[in-house]
Structure 1
Amino acid sequence: MAGTSDLSNLPLVSVIVVNYRGADDTVECLRALREELDYPAERLEVICVDNASGDGSAERIRAAAPDVRLVESDRNLGFAGGCNLAARNASGQVLAFLNNDARPDRDWVRSAVAVLRAEPTVGAVASKVLDWEGRHIDFVDGGLTWFGMGYKRHAGEVDDHSHDAPRDVLFGTGSALFVRAELFAALDGFDERFFMFYEDVDLGWRLNLRGWRVRYEPRSLTFHRHHASMTDIASSREHYLLERNALAALYKNVSDETLAKALPAAMALAVRRATARGEIDPTQLEITRRSESEDDSPVPIDRSALAGMLAIDQFVEMLPSLKQSRDEEQQARVRTDADLVPLMRKAMEPAYPLPRYLAAHDALVEAFGLDEVFGRPRKVVVITGDAVTERMAGPAIRAWHMAEVLSVEHQVRLVSVNDLVSPPPAEFEVHAATRRELGAHVDWADIVVLQGHVLEMVPALKKVDSTKIVVCDVYDPMHLELLEQGRDTDDERRAKDLAGVTKVLNTQLQRGDFFLCASERQRHFWLGHLASLGRLTPGLYDNDPTVRSLLSVVPFGLPSVAPRRTSPAIKAVHPGISADDKVVLWAGGVYSWFDPLTLLHAVHRISQRHNDIRLFFLGMKHPNPDVPEMGMAGQTRALAQRLGLTDKFAFFNETWVPYQERQNYLLDADCGVTTHFEHVETTFAFRTRVLDYLWSGLPVVTTDGDSFADLVRSERIGVVVPAEDPDALAEALEKVLYDEEFAAECRRRIEPVRERFTWESVLAPLTEFCRDPRPAADRLKASSPLVRSPQINGTEAVRRDLALLREYLDAGGPLEVAKRAGGRLRRLAGERFRGR
């Protein structure tokens, strides 16, 4: 047995064993639990339920194991009911279910508890189960057919240790299973209507639907005399329970859409399974087979065939109560049927090798389109507030490529709440939606990916009890951006706007299940936000100390295909720019947080030495009419005019280049430039259009201070200059424009960097999340601490108060004591008031 030094970190585990006329096996099992486990006896509670055996079992168990808590039922409740009865009498934070004909390995409990402690999103741990001799597999993985029948994958195979890696499963076997006690209670335990068989499948199914994980842990090992407690049960009764309970589990747990196709097909298949199993002639009542004298004599039916038909009959009998359970499960679910298909392993497995049955299985699958149901793509809606047209700005570009990448695996809709939606051709749906229409798109989706102010437009999605999976793209720290953008407004409005935007972001941070940002700098910033809002809980941290399962870096990306010119754009096209000129490209809008003024001064200096320099601003008018022109645009035009640069050395495209044509402008440039001021917005910004410089292989000149400058410096793909230093900027531009060897080296180094920034690469965290979407760990219901602080007794309380008194006297004397005492009294009074 383990020592007591780690008791405070170990939960109390209640091991539950159900006995029905199997006292010999039960006594042996209970002895092993008390003598062979490496888990402190003080943290182990063993409960045995005698299911009204009526054969003296209870007395024998009480005599052989007096330290075990024996609960006697007044009737046979079955395995499900017996386990629930014990659970209601248990004190542990963890419930461990063990068959009475099983024996645990030394590390059975400790290994399972370690998983529950380390991974708070795991609601149940499925043990590895071998046969009694430890040679053959009983349970290492669970599968589920589309018609509701669970099965043990690899059962009977020799254990060659190829299944000794932990994995998520749909369910564990009830013969050796650990479940968080609070969660088990929230789910009302096993479904007692099942009596036995598939109650463990149903429990695991419901756990997964509610966002919890069931984790197979091979180090938590048991050995099982398979069905030793069922030797007196006829196979026909077993068939009956399996058929009935499979239909019940299917009815309770699949969505309305799936149920409409799967349930009638499953019931028809159950009939065919029955007639095939009983070798019943299915044509014996055909009208064409009448003889001259009608024969109405009884026809013998094999009990195994009768089992299937009676199972359907009793399933119908159970429907009124199952309907209520179904309503509860569908209301509580946060995961879709599509989410669980991978855990079903082989959903289309026929399961029974009977020729007539197999033929019916294939016919039903085709007739009801079940391949589509159990292989249907997940539904993802990506919502933006930006204009989705031929001319797109950063938010729309980002949303567009998210939809494009996700549509390879999922059914995707890109929805804009902007009035301007006239998209280029796409492989996914694109919709315009008013605020009122937005709810229908959210209801349609399994996963909602949103940005900006979108969450404010769907109040139902903001609610804490909303079960929709929400991904918040917070690549744009809008409140920092507003500090700069709002300089032109009055102080009162600026303060109100800032408070409003901060509230919008906080609402997202409190609600989201997964967050995307654009850089490691941003990630550190948003981690602070999340921590201040209480999202970085111990449970989340223990599950993932990196917290990347909640917040991941997804920068802007690049097309995987190199840019190809479709038409000339700048050189020898735009008036004043010849084919031999050196073009410096500003690829984006002119906003208040940028510094094009220093750039103009630098170009003015260079123009005194080089007559062929041309600065080209790619877009002065934002494609989204809701984004007004900022004061910096006017200042830029005015300074260019004053320095004599306009239409000679500085050129302005007063519209916005269509997204699908931007490569023509990029390929006409000799370098790309971005300059900005030194402030907080810069520190956490990620300049979106600047990545197009990498796409087209342009050496980059950038102001220091943001994450893109870090990239340029570390990868040596251009020059980084101090903020507001026109001389340094002029020197850098001359180097990339006129030092051909340096420019060629920059272009060479850009090649491998470009591969890292393809949209497919940068969106990998979102792609992975959408393959297995789950609520954030701290949003799971019934997820209170596994190990709680012990209640202190009166003596310890007095000692604690005396220590505090000395501390307060040392800190501030009697006045400090009086202040602290007053605060404590107010707190106690508040607790009493809240308790009324």
Structure 2
Amino acid sequence: MNRIGIVILNWNGKDLLEKFLPSVISHSKREWAEIIVADNASDDDSIAFLEQKYPDIRTIKLDKNYGFAEGYNRALSQLNHEYFVLLNSDVKVSQNWLDPIYHQFENNADIAAAQPKIKDYYRKSDFEYAGAAGGFIDYLAYPFCRGRILDVIEKDKGQYDKTIDVFWASGAALFIRADIYKKTGGLDGDFFAHMEEIDLCWRIKNQGHRIICDPNSTVYHVGGATLPHHSTRKLFLNFRNNLFMLYKNLPSNRLLFIFFYRMILDGVAAFKFLLTGEFANFTVVFKAHMSFYSMLAKFRKKRKVLLPLVTKNHHNEIYRNSIIFDYFLRRKRKYSQIEDQLKA
């Protein structure tokens, strides 16, 4: 039986498949692993390429582009593996990438999800933005990583080679138990893309499970292959989805307090865009908030479903201070400068 399903979600990514799929095939030859490509109704020649070049690889053909979140939900619902790996199509894997985390799952029943060390494909001595050596959030739900705080990315010098518990595992290479994925509701399709894995991990943590980063496994991620880093669409999704995530997962006694401060900080960010002449970005922040408000009734129903499932609200992997304040005012720009406060 193939216990791990390595699922690559593709949308018009024939060039990425051509470039990165060979490494996945070469380094995933295990009797317990299967590679699957789920296609979000691409209109390039992705499917023809796969059928001609890799006829033995299983493909799942979705009827339209459901985005990252719902695309994975629909693909994974058709699989019966014990573990899933959600792997971006722009990731090159290393020779020993599967085994360490597979053995973590086999030997530790309380680990629900995990990620490898994620390094930059083009600058292989650097961590990669979307995950680095494991994800965290601060008390206002601003995400950061071991190896990447805001826009400061560290070089990998072995300083974060210890396997540790983290708050979220990157969707670029997310290992997860299939039963936990399904039990917790999977990725939220209303997010479409961006921060959906943090939301999923928050739900997993609230239900009492562990998430780890095991740096004994390493992959190399391009990042921004679908949406460029400076895309207004990406900015919109990040601002809006962060609000979705907060509303769904915060405990009731902190919800209004946190939202009050987030509204202030989002307003500050918007006017910073205005002052620097980034008018499109200024508008995007307000569009994101309007989109959040328009869907509030729907997310209120989701929150009511999730609250009774919460077994744990205090997480050591949530930074108790403001990462924004520490970054700009205290000049703390490396994870090593704050890690002691995450152990409290």
Instruction: Quote the Cα distance in structure 1 between the aligned partners of 2:319 and 2:155.
Output: 20
Secondary structure of the residue that 1:95 maps to in structure 2? strand
Match 1:199 to one of 177, 182, 196: 196
Structure 1 position 352, deviation (Å): 10
The CA deviation at 1:19 is 1.2
Once the two structures are TM-superposed, the CA of residue 161 in structure 1 deviates from its matched residue by: 0.7
| Cα distance change, pair 351–243 in 1 and its aligned pair in 2 (3 A) | farther
> Which of 116, 119, 133 matches 1:127?
116
CA 1:102–1:351: 2 relative to 1, 3 Å:
farther
For 1:265, the aligned partner's letter is Y
Which residue of 2 is the match for residue 149 of structure 1?
Answer: 142
**Which digits, 9 at most, give the CA deviation of each residue in 1:13-69, with x for residues without a partner?**
0011111222121233332222223x52x3222221222221222222232221112
Contact 1:276 1:354 in 2 (8 A): no
What's the CA shift for 1:354?
A: 7.7
The residue number in structure 1 matching 2:75 is 86
Whether the 8 Å CA contact 1:26–1:100 is kept in 2: the answer is: yes
Deviation of 1:146 after TM superposition, in Å, equals 2.9
What is the distance in 1 between the residues matched to 2:45 and 2:78? 22
Tell me the amino acid that sits aligned with residue 108 of structure 1.
Answer: W
What is aligned with 1:158? Answer: 155
CA distance in 1, matches of 2:196, 2:54: 28
Letter in 2 for 1:274: A
2:125 partner letter: R
The SS at the match of 1:230 is coil
Change (3 A) 1:123 1:189: same
SS in 2 for 1:89: coil
Residues in 2 aligned to 1:179 and 1:347: alpha-carbon distance in whole angstroms: 29
1:320 alignment partner in structure 2: 297
RMSD: 2.4
Tell me the residue number matched to 2:335. Answer: none
Contact map agreement 1:47 1:86 (CA 8 A) in 2? no
Q: Which amino acid aligns with 1:58?
A: I
User: 1:83 deviation in Å?
Assistant: 1.5
Q: Does 2:227 match 1:230? A: yes
Q: Do the aligned partners of 1:143 and 1:347 also contact (CA within 8 Å) in 2?
A: no
1:225-247 CA-to-partner distances (Å, cap 9, x unmatched) read 1222324x752211111000000
**How many Å separate the matches in 1 of 2:101 and 2:328?**
39
TM-score (norm 2): 0.88
Q: 1:12-27 maps to which residues of 2 (within 5 A)? A: 12-27=3-18
The 4+ residue runs of structure 1 with deviation greater than 3 A are 351-355
What are the equivalent positions in structure 2 for 1:447-596 lying under 5 Å apart?
none
Distance in 2 (CA, whole Å) between partners of 1:267 and 1:54 is: 39
Aligned pair 1:33/2:24, yes or no?
yes
Per-residue deviation, 1:166:
0.4
Percent same amino acid among aligned pairs?
24
Structure of larger gyration radius: 1
In the alignment, the residues of structure 2 paired with residue 214 and residue 311 of structure 1 have an alpha-carbon distance, to the nearest angstrom, of 29
User: Could you tell me which residue of structure 1 aligns to residue 270 of structure 2?
Assistant: 274
CA displacement 1:719-775 (0-9 Å, x = unmatched): xxxxxxxxxxxxxxxxxxxxxxxxxxxxxxxxxxxxxxxxxxxxxxxxx9xx7xxxx
Residue of structure 2 in register with 1:576 after alignment: none
C-alpha distance in 1, partners of 2:185/2:21?
A: 26
Work out the CA distance in 2 between the residues paired with 1:61 and 1:346: 47
Aligned-partner residue type, residue 97 of structure 1: L
Structure 2 CA distance for aligned equivalents of residues 107 and 244 of structure 1: 37
Cα distance, 1:118–1:24 mapped onto 2, change above 3 Å: same
- Structure 1 counterpart of 2:324: 350
Matches of 1:153 and 1:247, distance apart in 2: 23
Residues 271-329 of structure 1: per-residue CA shift (max 9 Å, x gap):
2211112218xxxxxxxxxxxxxxxxxxx981101111011100011111211211122
Unmatched runs of 5 consecutive residues or more in structure 1: 1-6, 281-299, 359-374, 376-767, 772-836
Partner of 2:159: helix, strand, or coil? coil
- Contact kept in structure 2, 1:126 and 1:216, CA below 8 Å: yes
Q: Distance in 1 between matches of 2:50 and 2:282?
A: 39
CA distance in 2, matches of 1:27, 1:67: 15
For 1:352 and 1:167, the matched residues in 2 are separated by 23
Question: For the Cα contact (< 8 Å) 2:14–2:44, is it kept in 1?
Answer: no
Contact 1:102 1:223 in 2 (8 A): yes
Task: Give 1:309's aligned residue.
Answer: 286
User: Any idea what the Cα deviations from partners look like across 1:438-459, whole Å, max 9, x if unmatched?
Assistant: xxxxxxxxxxxxxxxxxxxxxx
2:182 is the alignment partner of 1:185:
yes
Letter in 2 for 1:253: N
Aligned-partner Cα distance in 2 for 1:308–1:36 = 42
Structure 1: distance between partners of 2:13 and 2:320: 35
Structure 1 residues 54 and 234: CA distance shift in structure 2, 3 A: farther
Contact 1:143/1:346, CA 8 A, preserved across alignment: no
Aligned to 1:253: 249
> What are the superposed Cα offsets for residues 358-407 of structure 1, whole Å, 9 maximum, x if unpaired?
9xxxxxxxxxxxxxxxx9xxxxxxxxxxxxxxxxxxxxxxxxxxxxxxxx
Q: How far apart in 2 are the matches of 1:201 and 1:79?
A: 13
Per-residue Cα deviation, 1:126-171 (whole angstroms, up to 9, x for no partner): 2111111531112102121333332334232111011111000001
Q: Relative to structure 1, is the Cα distance of residues 256 and 219 closer, same or farther in structure 2, using a 3 angstrom cutoff?
A: same
Q: In structure 1, give the amino acid aligned to 2:136.
A: G
Deviations 1:574-600 (A, max 9, x none): xxxxxxxxxxxxxxxxxxxxxxxxxxx
- 1:61 pairs with one of 50, 55, 70: 50
Q: Alpha-carbon deviations, 1:173-215, whole Å to 9, x = none?
A: 0001110001101112111111111111111111111000001
3-state SS in 2 of match to 1:183: helix
Alignment of 1:629-778 (within 5 A): none
Question: How many residues of Structure 1 are paired with residues of Structure 2 in the alignment?
Answer: 325
C-alpha spacing 1:265/1:35, structure 2 compared with 1 (3 Å): same
SS at match of 1:248: helix
Partner of 1:330: 307
Higher strand share: 2
Distance in 1 between residues matched to 2:325 and 2:44, nearest whole Å: 37
Distance 2:319 2:57 in 1: 39
Larger RCO: 1 or 2 (CA < 8 Å, sep 6+):
2
- CA distance, structure 1, for counterparts of residue 116 and residue 264 of structure 2: 35
Aligned 8 A contact 1:50 1:73 in 2: yes
Counterpart contact for 1:13–1:44, Cα < 8 Å: yes
Q: Provide Cα deviations, 1:433-480, integer angstroms capped at 9, x if missing partner.
A: xxxxxxxxxxxxxxxxxxxxxxxxxxxxxxxxxxxxxxxxxxxxxxxx
Indicate how the Cα distance of structure 1 residues 129 and 234 shifts in structure 2: closer, same or farther if over 3 A, else same.
Answer: closer
Q: Which amino acid aligns with 1:271?
A: G
Cα displacement (A) at 1:74: 2.3
User: Does the 8 Å contact 2:27/2:96 carry over to 1?
Assistant: no
Corresponding residue to 1:70 among 59, 77, 98: 59
CA contact 1:52–1:74 (8 Å) conserved in 2: yes
Secondary structure at the residue paired with 1:260? helix
Out of 118, 126, 141, which is 1:136 matched to?
126
CA shift for structure 1 position 219:
1.2
SS in 2 for 1:137: coil
Describe the shift of the 1:49–1:354 C-alpha distance in structure 2 as closer, same or farther (beyond 3 A): same
Structure 2 residue matching 1:278: 3-state secondary structure? helix
> Shift of the alpha carbon at 1:347?
4.2
What is the SS of the residue equivalent to 1:90?
coil
Alpha-carbon distance in 2 for matches of 1:62, 1:331:
46
Q: TM-score, normalization: structure 1?
A: 0.37
- Is the CA contact 1:32–1:104 (under 8 Å) kept in the aligned structure 2? yes
